[in-house]
Amino acid sequence: MKILVPVKRVVDYNVKVRVKADQTGVDLANVKMSMNPFDEIAVEEALKLKEAGKATEVVAVSAGPAACQETLRTALAMGADRAILVETDAELQPLAVAKLLKAVVQKESPQLVLAGKQAIDDDANQVGQMLAALLDWAQVTFASKIAADGGKLTVTREIDGGLETVEVALPAVLTADLRLNTPRYATLPNIMKAKKKPLDTLKPADLGVDVAPRLKTLKVAEPPKRKGGVMVKDVAELVAKLKSEAKVI
Amino acid sequence: MSALVIAEHDNARLKPGTSNAVTAAAKMGGDVHVLVAGQGCAGAAAEAAKLAGVSKVLVADAPHYAGALPENLAALVTPLAKGYSHVVAAASAVGKGFMPRVAALLDVAQVSEIVAVESPDTFVRPIYAGNAFATVQSPDAVKVVTVRATGFEEAAATGAAPVEAIAAGPDTGKAKLLGQELTKSARPELVAARRVVSGGRGLGSAENFRLVEALADKLGAAIGASRAAVDSGFVPNDCQVGQTGKIVAPELYIAVGISGAIQHLAGMKDSKVIVAINKDPEAPIFQVADYGLVGDLFQDVPELTAQL
């Protein structure tokens, strides 16, 4: 089984983002960028499947500017076999990314696409599902446990009231939730080795995909600020305030 | 202009979120129809028919809708969607699963987790875990939109819309639901509760979480938890409030032993009244709390439970 793992370059999860004064977006100048955390989990799971003898090759793919090479090198340093960058400076929205990935799937013929459930920048939570639809494949989102057996996968997924278990036949698209695994760190020798692993670059036009954005962002604003609260000295004062001031009990 | 809201339900009852999605759909202008796809789902359909603002309920009753599998739901909704200007669903685990499939099959963008409707084609949605809000405009003929329940009121149960059976779509046979392990609780559902008591790492153990449970039961509240408490195994995953868990906005949110990581705040900072009890006066949770109490939760929480 060959596994394709899409990875996105996003603002590092530790960075507190700031909205630009002109409200056109979030300030990305000199901000630390990293691999989307859910994509790291997807890479880890693909590597585990390979180490367990269930997968033969793990290919990482990213779409975006040339700097996404760094993100792909991280995936290679973790252990992916090779990487593909669909290079473009255009703004990419989820539908366009799904179309690019579909074209890469048709070129590479993986049996499984293992993606992160959502990117922590646009929080869209769409690409895996859209890709599955465009390919007419099964999908399992929010996976917290994956068991591969021949041409079938048994996947436990997180749902609102608990967990559910779904069986799908390959080919399929899976999206990783937080508790699927804990991603490994790339070791220094592996970071060095990753520099020599193959990284191919394509353009959207090579894949025949129109990536023009659909949604127009009119404005990006700061969230409404909460008014500062008060400190109470003990439980009795808290109960009194909740009763007489907040009137919630 | 008209909107199709896809209901989420357990066949007998609607799940929380659907009625908020109806409120959002009503703001997009035009008629609101609700689609109930399930197996033996007459109960849920009858409940949908009562939601204020709904002018028709469509019911697709077939065995292959039992598990709300995204492949089958998308195959049903996509051809229906072409007759509507908007397709709307709650941004729940189910809605997040099948709606992007519908959007891709229609070749349109999806607008995820909106918290406000500015006009029929313009919506506000959080990005970067709620650290910014984007106003986006969709030029597509069919707008596919998921709704964050906390952004909209529930629709009142004052309507009486006609219920119409429609033909089921195909069974794609792509996936099989083997089983569900649902957390059983007599407490209200976390996402719909008017009061929530959440516990964090400060509780120290699953046993100590009983302090939170006792307080919640006294208040008739749902139980929540921080990611740290879930990762430490104090409570199941589906209790997690935060960016990667549930988004809640109850009238009263009590955070016990929770420091207030950004990821947790993203899930609860729209609550109307926030109370924080923590031993660390520097904990970030106090920056969003309306009432803060610095103290030992092992004393203060039982005392609070006793005084209510």
Structure tokens of B96? 């997040």
Q: Which residues contact A243 (CB under 8 A, 6 or more apart)?
A: A249
- Work out the mean pLDDT of chain A and round it to a whole number: 96
Place of tokens 């006009």: B119
The interface predicted TM-score of the complex, written ipTM, equals 0.95
Strands A216-221 and B132-137, sheet pairing? antiparallel
Rounded to a whole number, what is the distance in Å from the CA of A192 to chain B's nearest CA?
32
Query: Is it the case that residue A228 has pLDDT exceeding 80?
Result: no
Residues of B whose CB is below 8 A from A124: 110, 112
Which is nearest to A81 in space by CA: A56, A100, A62, A53? A56
CB atoms within 10 A of CB A197: 18
- Work out the mean pLDDT of chain B and round it to a whole number: 96
Q: What is the mean pLDDT of residues B256-276?
A: 95
Nearest by CB to residue A248, choosing from B127, B269, B273, is B273
Residues of B whose CB is below 8 A from A91: none
Q: Helices (DSSP H) in B16-69: which residue ranges?
A: 18-27, 42-49
Structure tokens of A77? 């340093």
Residues of B whose CB is below 8 A from A157: 93
Q: Which pTM does this prediction carry? A: 0.95
Domain coordinates in residue numbering, chain A: 2-244
DSSP A99-153: HHHHHHHHHH--SEEEEES--TTT----HHHHHHHHHT-EEEEEEEEEEEETTEE
Q: What local confidence, expressed as pLDDT, does residue B184 receive?
A: 84
Nearest by CB to residue A162, choosing from B175, B236, B273, is B236
For A2-244, which CATH class?
alpha beta
List, for residues A153-181, the tens digit of each pLDDT value: 999 999 998 999 999 999 999 999 999 99
Q: Does residue A191 sit in helix, strand or coil?
A: helix
Confidence band (pLDDT; 50, 70, 90) for B244? confident
Query: Nearest-CA residue of chain B relative to A98?
Result: B104
Confidence band (pLDDT; 50, 70, 90) for A225? confident
Confidence band (pLDDT; 50, 70, 90) for A150? confident
List, for residues B36-69, the tens digit of each pLDDT value: 999 999 999 999 999 999 999 999 999 999 999 9
List, for residues B201-218, the tens digit of each pLDDT value: 999 999 999 999 999 999
List, for residues A7-60, the tens digit of each pLDDT value: 999 999 989 899 999 999 999 999 999 999 999 999 999 999 999 999 999 999
Confidence band (pLDDT; 50, 70, 90) for B183? confident
Q: What local confidence, expressed as pLDDT, does residue A161 receive?
A: 85
Nearest by CB to residue B178, choosing from A167, A229, A238, is A167
